[in-house]
Amino acid sequence: MFARILTALALFALAASLFLFLSRSHQGYGLDDLVGGRRLGTPEKLTLPSASPLSEGEVPGLARLNNEVTTLISTVAPAVVSVNTARVTRRQAIDFFGNVRLFQSYVPGLGSGVIISKEGHMVTNYHVVEQADEIQVVMHDGTKCLAEKIGEDRNADIALLRIINPRIKEFKALPFADSDQVKVGETVFAIGNPFGLRESVTQGIINHRDRQISDSDAPKFQTDAVINPGNSGGPLVNIRGEIVGINVAIYAGQQEVRVWQGVGLAIPANDVVRAVDRIRNEGKSKAGYLGLQAEIQVTEDGTENMVLTDVTPGSPADKAGLKPGDVLLRFGGQPVTREFDLFTRINRRPIDQAVEIVVRRDATEMTVTAVVADREALLSQEEKLAERRDLREQIGIEVQNITERQRRHIPQQIGGVVVTAVEPDSPSDGILYRGSIIYEVNGVAIDSVEKFFSIISTLKGKKFPLKYIRGGYSYTVSIMLPE
């Protein structure tokens, strides 16, 4: 054992002697080099280039382009603002001691906007401020100001606001371009507040002018300038610093993907100007609606036809007798060669005005007359029906107006609605019953289904008393609706 130890020590001494000999005769083999890669206290030798590989004179075009773009952005940016919104939600709850307490919370939102007048008027998307109880804008220099809503155009998705700041005598504003003159391939810049990152700028071109398939939707510009959540309401500007459009959406090619996928959409400037003018004059904007979808289809012999691809049930187009598959020949006495032309004519048509539409169906030419409707009014009605369906699901009952036969069993001075169905495991299950006649909700007399749902819609998240008659007896119960 001892002999083995002596042998190992001898070998180690021999290796150490050999290493020391080599380190003296060969640079880079010292002990410091072996441990740390360099001698301790000696700085690493690192020489950075001191000259640019190219001068601006060698790339004059790029240098000029670079300077022009930065000049454009620095000129335009002061008119672009961030829009921060807050929606206030309130709910009542009963604490451990039986006391009713009011809880208040704020739901934040964000978007972008652009100033269009020296008085501080600005536009953004309607959906950015739709449910906002408070609107704050952040100016180019970081100044925070409140803004008041002047009016909105739900159809165009445009809202007109005015910035409140008496210390600013004149606001930096941008003019609108004539969007009818915009060409595919034109260079544009999107400026806005994506993900809350103020004054972000992206560059692209106009990829398509009139992206639209239905008269329930307005035509949009398509661009490959990057647009993400938070860009909504910000301007799309041209190389002259004019507003070409208002950024509104990204194309959702893949579901569940809410970031840019190569296709951004913007509301054309001329549509924005028309919306602003109508809001100024009327407080709101109206757009014509027939309830149809159409597209250009090419036949085997190369003929292009404008074909109706869908007709909304109950719409003016449906009432006029139009059907999917009809080939549109003339609208208002004029031929139509593009989807954009058709939908623009419908949108700009005066409300309640009749229009002749000539179509070909199964080789037979026919003329129908449709009455243009107010798109916002119809969409509001559809939203009201959808809200009523939601309320039915939340409270868990179906109701209908009282028939004359049912009225014989209740006092003459009492109105009400009759319960026709009760959903199991709903807030009404075990409290209300089929055949019950509801005549009062939260102290308000009920005389129709419309009145019942109108009152119920104001009581979300609250516990309220409800009175009904069943079997000749009157009952009072409490119901709590989810928020």
Contacts of 129 (CB under 8 A, 6+ apart): 83, 85, 111, 135, 149, 152, 159, 161
H or E element that contains 378:
helix 375-395
Q: What is the pLDDT of residues 46-100, one digit of tens each?
A: 988 888 898 888 888 898 999 999 999 999 999 999 998 887 665 655 656 656 5
Give the β-pairing of 243-250 and 235-237: antiparallel
Give the β-pairing of 144-153 and 158-164: antiparallel
Give yes or no for residue 242 having a pLDDT over 50. yes
Give yes or no for residue 177 having a pLDDT over 70. yes
Four-CA torsion 465, 469, 475, 480, nearest 10 degrees: -30
Please give the model's pTM, rounded to 2 decimal places.
0.55
Which residues partner with 418 through β-bridges?
A: 400, 437
Give yes or no for residue 193 having a pLDDT over 90. no
Q: What is the pLDDT of residues 120-163, one digit of tens each?
A: 999 999 888 887 888 889 998 888 888 888 888 877 889 999 99
Indicate the pLDDT class of residue 356, thresholds 50, 70 and 90: very high
Is there a contact between 310 and 325 (Cβ–Cβ < 8 Å)? Answer: no
C-alpha count within 13 angstroms, C-beta hemisphere, residue 343: 25
| pLDDT value, residue 449 | 83
| pLDDT value, residue 263 | 75
Choice between 29 and 377, residue whose per-residue pLDDT is larger: 377
Indicate the pLDDT class of residue 166, thresholds 50, 70 and 90: confident
Choice between 248 and 235, residue whose per-residue pLDDT is larger: 235
Integer Cα distance of 215 and 36 in angstroms: 73
Reading phi first (left if > 0) and then psi (alpha if -120 to 50, else beta), residue 27 is in beta
- Tokens of residue 169, six digits: 């005598």
| pLDDT value, residue 255 | 47
Give yes or no for residue 292 having a pLDDT over 60. yes
Amino acid identity of residue 138, one-letter, is V
Write down the catalytic residue from 112, 121, 153, 157. 157
Integer Cα distance of 32 and 41 in angstroms: 10
| pLDDT value, residue 153 | 82
- Tokens of residue 275, six digits: 């919306």
Q: Distances from the Cα of 49 to the Cαs of 42, 53, 88, 462, in angstroms?
A: 22, 9, 57, 70
The burial of 304, by beta-carbon neighbours within 10 Å (0-12 exposed, 13-18 middle, 19 or more buried), is given as exposed
User: What 3-state DSSP class applies to 16?
Assistant: helix
Give me the mean pLDDT over the 186-205 stretch: 83
Instruction: Point out the least confidently predicted range of 188-192, 201-205, 415-419, 457-461.
Output: 457-461
State what percent of residues in the chain have pLDDT above 90.
20
Write down the catalytic residue from 23, 127, 140, 457. 127
Give yes or no for residue 352 having a pLDDT over 60. yes
Instruction: Point out the least confidently predicted range of 212-216, 301-305, 371-375.
Output: 212-216
* Phi, psi for 347 (deg, rounded to 5): -60, -35
Q: Is 232 part of the annotated catalytic residue set?
A: yes
Q: Is 121 part of the annotated catalytic residue set?
A: no
Give me the mean pLDDT over the 35-40 stretch: 54
- Residue 262: CB atoms within 10 A of its CB come to 13
Q: Which of 2-16, 176-190, 296-310 has the highest mean pLDDT?
A: 176-190
Q: Is 216 part of the annotated catalytic residue set?
A: no
- Residue 160: CB atoms within 10 A of its CB come to 25
Q: What is the pLDDT of residues 7-29, one digit of tens each?
A: 666 666 666 565 555 555 555 44
Nearest alpha-carbon partner for 232 in 261, 212, 260: 260
Choice between 271 and 394, residue whose per-residue pLDDT is larger: 271
Give yes or no for residue 409 having a pLDDT over 70. no
- Tokens of residue 105, six digits: 């919370």
Give me the mean pLDDT over the 287-309 stretch: 84
Give the β-pairing of 417-422 and 304-311: unpaired
For residue 481, what is the DSSP state? -
Give yes or no for residue 315 having a pLDDT over 50. yes
| pLDDT value, residue 14 | 64
Q: What is the pLDDT of residues 92-128, one digit of tens each?
A: 556 566 565 666 666 788 889 999 999 999 999 988 8
| pLDDT value, residue 154 | 79
- Taken in order of first residue, the domains within the chain and their CATH numbers are 2-36 (no CATH), 77-164 (2.40.10.10), 179-282 (2.40.10.10), 288-376 (2.30.42.10), 396-480 (2.30.42.10)
Integer Cα distance of 155 and 285 in angstroms: 8
Choice between 5 and 428, residue whose per-residue pLDDT is larger: 428
How far is CA 50 from its chain centroid? 49
Instruction: Point out the least confidently predicted range of 36-50, 52-66, 221-235, 425-439.
Output: 36-50
Integer Cα distance of 175 and 234 in angstroms: 14
| pLDDT value, residue 34 | 47
Q: Distances from the Cα of 240 to the Cαs of 75, 123, 236, 269, 272, in angstroms?
A: 10, 19, 11, 14, 18
Integer Cα distance of 111 and 159 in angstroms: 12
Write down the catalytic residue from 216, 232, 428, 436. 232
Q: What is the overall mean pLDDT for the chain?
A: 80
| pLDDT value, residue 174 | 95
For residue 403, what is the DSSP state? P
Q: Which of 6-10, 212-216, 400-404, 419-423 has the highest mean pLDDT?
A: 419-423
Reading phi first (left if > 0) and then psi (alpha if -120 to 50, else beta), residue 293 is in beta
For residue 195, what is the DSSP state? G
Indicate the pLDDT class of residue 188, thresholds 50, 70 and 90: very high
- Tokens of residue 462, six digits: 């609250």
Integer Cα distance of 320 and 384 in angstroms: 24
| pLDDT value, residue 21 | 55
